[in-house]
Amino acid sequence: MLDLFYDDTHRALRDSAAAWVDRHIAPHAAAWEEAGWFPEDLHRAAGDAGLLGVTCPEALGGAGGDVFHGLIVAEALIGGGSVGVAMGLGSHAIALPPILALGSAEQQARFVPPVLSGDKVAALAITEPAAGSDVAGIRTRAVRDGDSYVINGAKTFITSGLRADLVTVAVRTGGDPDDPKRRHEGISLVVVEKGTPGFHTGRALAKMGWWASDTAELFFEDCRVPADNLLGGEGMGFVGIMANFVGERLLLAASAVATARLALDDTLAFVGQRRAFGRPLHGFQVTRHRLAEMAGREAAARAFVSTVAERARRGEDVAADVAMAKNIAAEACAYVCDAAVQLHGGMGYMRECRVERLFRDQRLYAIGGGTTEIMNEVIWRRGLEPIV
Ligand SMILES: Cc1cc2nc3c(=O)[nH]c(=O)nc-3n(C[C@H](O)[C@H](O)[C@H](O)COP(=O)(O)OP(=O)(O)OC[C@H]3O[C@@H](n4cnc5c(N)ncnc54)[C@H](O)[C@@H]3O)c2cc1C
């Protein structure tokens, strides 16, 4: 992000996080991507380095930092060269906010510290086979039975779903997805722990990018969880889900900017070293102009995302702005990665070339955490409709 908004703690974190990533991720990124996996003990190493809880309360093992501390870690992780590792290692960043927003002191003390230390992995499960953007369409049901909830249903596309020790799951404790008047009612969040009878993971889903992260289907068959694992009360799910909106979209926007920067840097190095027609590629004006366009779009996205983050830090309502930030950053990243492949020529199409991977990985920025179209809906409803 723009260091314009940084204090000394941000600059120190930027440097220490980059050094940790250079040592623990960068040398292995390509191999882990090809393997479609990264070692579980990386979570503990990141926890030991204090990278998992920079924005979480100190009382729970975090560092009590602000939004920029979180974005700095996200950017540093992308700098390791594997968006999949960054997203897999960062799945707790969307799983924990609902626990922090809705959970009791006892639930927070039980679930949060082991995740921040890297001893446990956390995931968030909202999306279902028949309901993604349309969260009110979820059908996974949790029925109260004594001091338990019995859950039946399925989730899909869940980041870290296979390795997660605890999953923050959106369930329906009431309402009806088929009744337009009642479909927003009765959405609740419950924490389901690995090993709970009736909780199964499916296959690792093969995907276009983010190969090193696991993306899984989850199944609940008469899965009985203690009623104590319900976050907030029944029907409080949307409050918990909304707790993620600003943070998750800013994290994805910052990750998109960082991905664009990586693709631009790789391309700048390549055009200086690769020669054609007796000169380096940057000897052609058309190449220089394309690089200028790439740099401009990355810089504009970085500036806008940083400004929205600063306004979020000041406590302003940035719902519409953060949706714009995510769309603008995703679009800038798509442009830069596409141009990066083009300027690498045939090498840009080779698996050994990092921009080939970044080109695949960036595609999800316009889909995950709310699609471009859903962001535009938010921009209309929260930013434009109130003033027309
Ligand atoms: C690699 C990966 C990791 C993921 N990780 C997680 C995770 O950890 N946890 C989790 O819960 N989910 C996760 N997701 C799911 C992700 O959040 C959803 O894929 C995303 O929200 C879109 O939902 P969908 O796939 O059901 O698409 P759909 O909602 O079916 O959308 C399909 C198309 O219709 C458009 N559309 C839908 N509604 C409207 C509308 N009202 N107006 C205009 N257009 C519309 C969409 O924009 C899109 O273009 C992940 C997905 C992927 C691919």
**DSSP string across 86-145:** HHHHTTHHHHHHHHHHH--HHHHHHHHHHHHTTSS-EEEE--BTTBSS-GGG---EEEEE
**Nearest-CA neighbor of 168 among 234, 240, 239, 105?**
240
Which residues make beta-bridge pairs with 128? 131
Q: How far is the CA of 373 from the centre of ligand 1 (A)?
A: 10
Nearest CA to ligand 1 atom 53: 157
> Domain 244-387 sits in which CATH superfamily?
Butyryl-CoA Dehydrogenase, subunit A, domain 3 (1.20.140.10)
Choice from 157, 160, 217, 218 to test ligand 1 binding pocket (greatest atom count within 8 A of CB) = 157
Q: What is the pLDDT of residues 184-211, one digit of tens each?
A: 999 999 999 999 999 999 989 999 999 9
The reply to whether CATH 3.20.20.300 applies to domain 3-116 is no
Which residues make beta-bridge pairs with 155? 218
Nearest CA to ligand 1 atom 44: 373
Kindly state if the Cβ of 368 falls inside 6 Å of ligand 1.
yes
Q: What is the pLDDT of residues 214-249, one digit of tens each?
A: 999 999 999 999 999 999 999 999 999 988 889 999
Burial class (CB in 10 A: 0-12, 13-18, 19+), 300: middle
248 is catalytic: yes
Q: How confident is the model at residue 379 (pLDDT cuts 50, 70, 90)?
A: very high
Q: C-alpha distances in angstroms, 171 versus 80, 176, 185, 312?
A: 35, 12, 11, 29
Give the position, in ligand 1's atom list, of the atom nearest the Cα of 170. Answer: 11
- The angle subtended at Cα 33 by Cα 302 and Cα 15, nearest 5°, is 40
Distance CA 235, CA 337 (A): 42
Nearest CA to ligand 1 atom 26: 132
Nearest CA to ligand 1 atom 32: 133
Give the position, in ligand 1's atom list, of the atom nearest the Cα of 207. Answer: 1
With 0.95 as the threshold, say if the pTM is over it: yes
Farthest-apart Cα atoms in the chain, separation: 79
Give the position, in ligand 1's atom list, of the atom nearest the Cα of 133. Answer: 29
The reply to whether CATH 2.160.10.10 applies to domain 122-234 is no
User: With 90 as the cut, is the pLDDT of residue 148 above it?
Assistant: yes
Nearest CA to ligand 1 atom 6: 158
- Domain residue spans in the chain? 3-116, 122-234, 244-387
Mean pLDDT within 338-358: 98
Q: How far is the CA of 82 from the centre of ligand 1 (A)?
A: 22
Nearest CA to ligand 1 atom 23: 132
Q: How far is the CA of 246 from the centre of ligand 1 (A)?
A: 17
Q: How confident is the model at residue 118 (pLDDT cuts 50, 70, 90)?
A: very high
How are beta strands 187-193 and 166-172 bridged, if at all? antiparallel
Distance CA 296, CA 304 (A): 12
Distance CA 286, CA 303 (A): 26
Q: How far is the CA of 375 from the centre of ligand 1 (A)?
A: 11
Q: What is the pLDDT of residues 70-102, one digit of tens each?
A: 999 999 999 999 999 999 999 999 999 999 999
Give the position, in ligand 1's atom list, of the atom nearest the Cα of 132. Answer: 26
Q: Which of 128, 248, 298, 310 is catalytic?
A: 248
Give the helix/strand (H/E) hosting 16: helix 8-24
Q: Which amino acid is at 48?
A: D
Q: What is the pLDDT of residues 36-78, one digit of tens each?
A: 999 999 999 999 999 999 999 999 999 999 999 999 999 999 9
